[in-house]
Amino acid sequence: MELEVRHLRALCAIADTGSLRKAARQLGMTQPSLTTQLRRIENTIGGRLFSREVTGSRPTPLGQSLLNRARPIVAEMNTLVSEVRLEVGQTAGECLRIGSTGSRAVVGWLRRLRARFPDADTTIHIDVSANALLEMVAEQQLDAAFVHEVEGAPLRVPDSVRRRVLLAREPQFVALAETHPAAAAPVVRLTDLAGDQWMVDPTGDGEGPGLRRVLSAAGLNPRVVYGDYLTASDLVASGEVVAPCQPTARSRAGMAVRPLHGDPLAVGLYLASRVPDEGDPAGSADIDALFADLEHAYLEIAWASDAYRQWLVRNDSPLVRIRDARPPVPLADIGLAGPSDGA
């Protein structure tokens, strides 16, 4: 097997994320496929490139030597692809590339962007890692990205990237089984969940440490297990685990979504874009438009969730005043009419 740029890109992703699982998600492939690819690369090189440890994957001396040579090649290829795409976009029409960590607001955001820029080829890249998206913005692989930052776990923001605040503090709710005793109350205390097992996605930047910090501050030390949130939904409904969730999360059969007393868990919501070049007002105007559409999409999805809407009103959130200042939009017009999303 001959080494290709995609192989070097995979090695860089493993080194940057420190995890085969995170790297696989970033590269858009399965973990077993990436593991097989790494084994083939190591067989071609003739030595181990990463040591598998409890804390993740770390480059061996041979791996670090290869990475030192691979990174300039990958960076040059990224620049080449970005420049060619820019030229193609200038001759064949606009190309709008956006990214996001998981959010139910993305559907409404995309719909508005396609209506605003009907001639643009608009694409979306979803990644659980906000840091990976920020790097893609910095490398001009994305024009903008909607990301969240776990409170107490700052993101790595490249110098060439700026962030615009959508919401400085979004409370994180908890998903628990409908049969859980705490689900009978409109607001859940962390102490009500002292005997429960928690589940968190380890690939979300800062989410595991953020949860442990909050639990520790409350004097709790429950068992925390790791898994993706799609799997967590089934385990939550069965009563096996409880899990933090976005306040806009849709309740499912057997599952309830409730705010936490005192809102100990929170994230900041941002739209990230490259720092505009001097004398380029058009670039700034486009980002303003992206932000306005994102804000509108988020407001609508927030207001469609019973649990979150009640929280917003109860806490006199600025979102209430922003929404009141906008003309109402029928839920049917944005595809949200039907059963309520809240618990």
**Is 17 a residue whose pLDDT tops 90?**
no
Provide the β-strand partners of residue 199.
225
What pLDDT, on a 0 to 100 scale, did the predictor assign at position 32?
A: 84
Is the model's pLDDT at 329 over the cut of 60?
A: no
Q: What pLDDT band is residue 185 in, cutting at 50, 70 and 90? A: very high
Nearest to 298 by CA among 187, 166, 143: 166
Contact criterion met (CB below 8 Å) for 73 and 8 = yes
pLDDT for residue 227: 81
Chain-wide mean pLDDT for the chain? 84
- At residue 57, the 3 state secondary structure works out as strand
Nearest to 199 by CA among 170, 172, 233, 171: 233
Confidence at residue 204, expressed as pLDDT on a 0 to 100 scale: 83
